[in-house]
């Protein structure tokens, strides 16, 4: 592995740590603000760190649909999120969004039936268009209620500032329960307008998962392949149609390291395996003399 591949692999190996830090960050913001420390304010709708603004593109688009005017601060705040989405797709979802972390944890308690779902690209984009039409017709910021990263931030600030939570926080609980226990993660796979809008910016040669059938040593039965079983949103990484649903978490690629290394992460001209926490291959245990 060269230096760039090692950096990519390291980043993905630390995904869970980054997710937990992201959740802790959301909790810390209102605590710091209560203590009158204000170099960081906001949440995942709109965040300010020193003078750097980050704005959820869905939040900005909804503002435009409702006011039919462009807000300069919101526009400036789009630069970094849109730039990241351009190069890495929905990586916000797999590394930062607290909803996904909670759903992944909940999935460990309710593992489900191991079903695999096809990705319907047209349906995915149709649902996003539906959300935007709804926002334009509703006349009030309806997408505010279904933007889970933002809602979870509001939940923590209400709790810390007001010592109570708004009834809209119930949406988080109901959605999490239905999504994980009943619908096998349909929210992130097909319905979430935040992830869908981020995916709109994804550049084809940016970060993607690739699959080489020739290197695959696993079962052709898609539900039995280790990489398929590992996917948090129940899609088949061996299909050549994982986008726009795939959020580039890299879990399937890490799992494939133990088998044929048929799945790889590609970024521009860089192709890399992702090494998991421990690097022992199930197929080829490291021999003593090699250690
Ligand atoms: S799809 Fe939506 S809820 Fe799921 S991880 Fe992305 S932003 Fe969060
Ligand atoms: S296909 Fe792979 S990278 Fe994409 S969401 Fe599933 S496990 Fe993550």
Does 237 sit in the ligand 2 pocket, CB within 6 Å?
yes
Does 194 sit in the ligand 1 pocket, CB within 6 Å?
yes
Q: Is 289 contained in some domain?
A: no
Report d(CA 264, CA 210) in Å as an integer.
Answer: 5
Residue 22's pLDDT is 97
Does 248 sit in the ligand 2 pocket, CB within 6 Å?
yes
Residues of the domain holding 247: 3-283
CA of 235 to the centre of ligand 2 (A): 7
C-beta separation of 171 from 146 below 8 A: yes
CA of 21 to the centre of ligand 2 (A): 21
Residue 5's pLDDT is 87
For the whole model, what pTM was predicted? 0.92
Residue 280's pLDDT is 54
* Secondary structure letter of residue 225 according to DSSP: S
Q: Is 291 contained in some domain?
A: no
Residue 77: both structure tokens together? 């705040």
Q: Is 290 contained in some domain?
A: no
Pocket test for ligand 2, best of 101, 231, 236 (most atoms within 8 A of CB): 231
The number of the ligand 2 atom at minimal distance from the alpha carbon of 209 is 3
Report d(CA 252, CA 232) in Å as an integer.
Answer: 9
pLDDT averages per 10-residue partition of the chain, 291 residues: 86 96 97 96 95 95 92 93 97 98 95 86 97 92 94 96 90 96 95 97 94 84 82 92 96 90 92 74 46 38
Residue 276's pLDDT is 75
What residues form DSSP beta bridges with 265? 209, 272
CA of 100 to the centre of ligand 1 (A): 6
Residue 277's pLDDT is 66
Does 247 sit in the ligand 2 pocket, CB within 6 Å?
yes
Q: Is 21 contained in some domain?
A: yes
Q: Is 109 contained in some domain?
A: yes
Residue 17's pLDDT is 97
CA of 265 to the centre of ligand 2 (A): 10
Number of domains composing the chain: 1
Query: What separation in angstroms does the CA of 68 have from each of 62, 64, 72, 79, 136?
Result: 9, 5, 13, 20, 10
Report d(CA 237, CA 211) in Å as an integer.
Answer: 7
Q: Is 230 contained in some domain?
A: yes
Does 251 sit in the ligand 2 pocket, CB within 6 Å?
yes
Ligand nearest to the CA of 45: 1
């Amino acid at each position: 592995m060269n230096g760039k591949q090692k950096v990519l692999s390291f980043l993905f190996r630390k995904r869970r740590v980054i997710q937990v830090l992201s959740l802790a960050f959301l909790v810390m913001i209102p605590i710091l603000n209560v203590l009158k420390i204000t170099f960081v304010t906001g949440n995942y709708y709109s965040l300010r760190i020193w003078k750097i603004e980050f704005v959820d593109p869905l939040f900005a688009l909804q503002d435009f649909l409702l006011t039919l005017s462009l807000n300069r601060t919101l526009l400036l705040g789009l630069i970094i999120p849109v730039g990241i989405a351009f190069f890495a797709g929905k990586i916000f979802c797999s590394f930062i969004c607290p909803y996904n972390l909670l759903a992944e944890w909940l999935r460990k308690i309710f593992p489900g039936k191991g079903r695999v779902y096809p990705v319907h690209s047209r349906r995915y984009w149709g649902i996003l268009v539906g959300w935007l039409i709804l926002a334009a017709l509703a006349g009030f910021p309806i997408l505010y209620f279904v933007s889970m990263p933002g809602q979870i931030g509001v939940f923590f600030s209400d709790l810390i500032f007001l010592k109570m939570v708004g009834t809209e926080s119930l949406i988080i609980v109901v959605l999490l329960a239905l999504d994980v226990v009943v619908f096998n993660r349909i929210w992130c796979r097909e319905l979430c307008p935040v992830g869908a809008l981020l995916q709109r910016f994804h550049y084809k040669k940016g970060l993607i998962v690739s699959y080489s059938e020739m290197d695959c040593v696993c079962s052709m039965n898609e539900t039995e392949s280790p990489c398929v079983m590992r996917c948090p949103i129940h899609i088949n990484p061996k299909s050549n149609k994982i986008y726009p649903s795939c959020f580039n978490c890299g879990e399937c690629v890490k799992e494939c390291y133990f088998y044929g290394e048929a799945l790889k992460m590609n970024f521009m001209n860089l192709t890399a395996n992702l090494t998991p926490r421990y690097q022992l291959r199930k197929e080829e245990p490291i021999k003593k003399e090699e250690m």
